Amino acid sequence: MDSTKMQHYKKVLLSFQSRINRLLTKEQNNLREFNPLTESLDEGDFSQATIDREMELLSRDALSQISKLIEISLKKIESGSYGICERCHKEIPEGRLKALPYSPYCVSCQSIIEKKYEK
């Protein structure tokens, strides 16, 4: 991955982190439930809004876990190893990084790992 792209993901990660920090400092009972049947979204910022909503639904544990993953990703950007799957050491496809910029694994490794945890 070239350094321009890394800088882009760094910005994305930092904005994710500030959102998470904001959610973590909110009172737990202020986290509201998103009801897709009664709330509509502008199509334009659908994906960003979706990410925000999804984050609002996460538990504090999940949020702090993501926060840790973001910190690790930011360190990887500094060391130049960002975007490499921790399990198979191949490049993580950009589509996945766009959806989950803090993901340490590619899709196939992630599903292998999740299957392992299911049992």
- Using CB under 5 A as the binding rule, whether residue 106 contacts Zn ion is answered as yes
- Give 41 or 107: the residue with its C-beta nearer to Zn ion: 107
Cα–Cα distance measured from residue 20 to residue 6, given in angstroms and rounded to the nearest whole number: 21
- Give 72 or 88: the residue with its C-beta nearer to Zn ion: 88
Q: Which of 10, 2, 34, 7 is nearest to 101 (CA)?
A: 10
Question: Minimum distance from CB of 119 to Zn ion (Å)?
Answer: 20
- Using CB under 5 A as the binding rule, whether residue 77 contacts Zn ion is answered as no
Q: Cα 40–38–31 angle (5° rounding)?
A: 90
Interacting residues with Zn ion (CB under 5 A): 85, 87-88, 106, 109
